[in-house]
Structure 1
Amino acid sequence: MPEPYALRLADPDADAEMIAEWMNRPHLVEAWEYPWPAGRWRRYLHAQLAGSYSRPIIGSLTGRDAAYLELYRAAKDSIATRYEADPYDLGLHIAIADLTIVNTGIVRYLLPHFMASALSLEPRCRRMMFDPDHRNTMARRACERGGCVFLGEHDMPNRRMALYVLPRTPGDVPRLREH
């Protein structure tokens, strides 16, 4: 990531309290619905790091932790039932803790850098998927301003999502599955 931004793997023991505090902020309770206590976050982070489905990441700005991200295997996620998933598709969830940097263009600026980094680590990946809640206007705006292609709203067992893709090339936009 370009300075003054940085990314690192979340540390379950060192970061669980901070993430729990963030996820209990009103804007993240509404967007993520994970207002868990620190102990549950610690267990969740340990489980992610022990598995192969997702990686918890902390994003910082000028040395100050400011965001929680989850990079995950989209083809292993329930969203894969809505589009023609490729085994190497990645997905990204973003929780910006600091409201003063929301809607400042930070996601639009950083998304290409994050995408380039992820694609260099997984060269077989052709696209990154985003699945915010359909009511999450901040996340939807960030996807649209970041160059994502909208693939529609979809009813899932636990919510209604807005599905977006950021393709490596225009030919990597997936087709939707029939339901």
Structure 2
Amino acid sequence: MLERSEPDTALAYSRYEPDIRRTISFRLLEKQRDLKLLWRWMNQAHVVPQWKMAKPIEDIAAYIDINLADPHQDPYIGLIDGTPMSYWEAYWAKDDVLGRYYPAEKKDRGWHMLVGEPSFFGRGIAPAVIRAFTRFLFLDDPGTQKVVGEPSVAARRLLRYAPACAFEEQGEIDLPDKRAKLMFCYRERFIQQFGL
């Protein structure tokens, strides 16, 4: 059984989502607090094919250290009604490997994510958290006009949610670790569909 987190005053984003009648929040990952959680998620059968991080806890600790020290990205834990359920990496596309595959603008943002807790599958939750994190990135920097993504062509479930989250396919690209769909979500279209 999942345990609800203690009240968190360090939330980067929190908003009630009427579509799922729950509150979605994000907070920066904290190594001491989140190491065991992220290690468990990375070793979940549904996560391993995409993330390929089924490794000992020491390797996940090193991965967290690298991410926390990397100025081009920030790791977040996603929560629903206070319960941790997802992991996110927000990055600046121009400074990411993806920035070599399209003409990235200075303020373009992107994200990687995983839903670690199977109990949060279904019921419209994935599209709601994707929209929430995308909204968070637009709110975080008013100069961000586009949020980008590069999901694997094999990530059929995630790709199915793209149109419902205002992401538009731009074509396929060959990244060093995968064949991916290049996806753009423009601020103006997102606001028209979902508001900020």
Structure 1 and Structure 2 fold alike (TM over 0.5): yes
Matched ranges for 1:112-131 at <5 A = 112-131=131-150
One-letter amino acid matched to 1:158? D
Return the offset for 1:55. Answer: 0.7
Task: Give, in whole Å, the separation in 2 of the partners of 1:106 and 1:83.
Answer: 30
Deviation sequence 1:93-127 (CA, Å, 0-9, x none): 11001223234322322344333332222121111
| Partner residue in 1 for 2:28 | 9
CA shift for structure 1 position 82: 2.0
What's the offset of the Cα at 1:19? 0.5
Identity of aligned residues (%): 24
Report the secondary structure of 2:46's partner residue: helix
Q: How far 1:21 sits from its partner (Å)?
A: 0.8
Q: In the aligned structure 2, how far is the partner of 1:95 from the partner of 1:137?
A: 14
1:133 to 152, 170, 180: 152
Give TM-score, length-normalised by structure 1: 0.86
What is the alpha-carbon distance in structure 2 between the residues aligned to residue 58 and residue 46 of structure 1? Answer: 15
Give, in angstroms, the shift of residue 20 of structure 1: 1.0
CA shift at 1:63, angstroms? 1.8
1:30 CA displacement = 0.9
TM-score when scaled to structure 2?
Answer: 0.79
Which whole-Å CA distance do the structure 1 matches of 2:43 and 2:163 have between them? 26
Change beyond 3 A, Cα 1:91–1:27: same
Distance verdict in 2 for CA 1:103–1:143, change over 3 Å: farther
Which ranges of structure 2 fall in alignment gaps of 5 or more residues? 1-13, 17-22, 190-196
1:145 equivalent in alignment to 2:160: no
Give, in whole Å, the separation in 1 of the partners of 2:181 and 2:117. Answer: 23
Match for residue 86 of structure 1? 105
Q: Distance in 1 between matches of 2:177 and 2:77?
A: 26
Secondary structure, counterpart of 2:47 in structure 1: helix
8 Å CA contact retained: 1:126, 1:167: yes
Shift of 1:51: 2.6
Cα shift readout 1:18-51 (whole Å, capped 9, x = no counterpart): 1111111111101211223222222222222223
Name the amino acid aligned to 1:2. Answer: R
Alignment RMSD: 1.7
1:54 corresponds to: 73
CA distance in 2, matches of 1:127, 1:37: 36
Gaps of 5+ in 1: 171-179
Superposition map of 1:71-110 within 5 A: 71-110=90-129
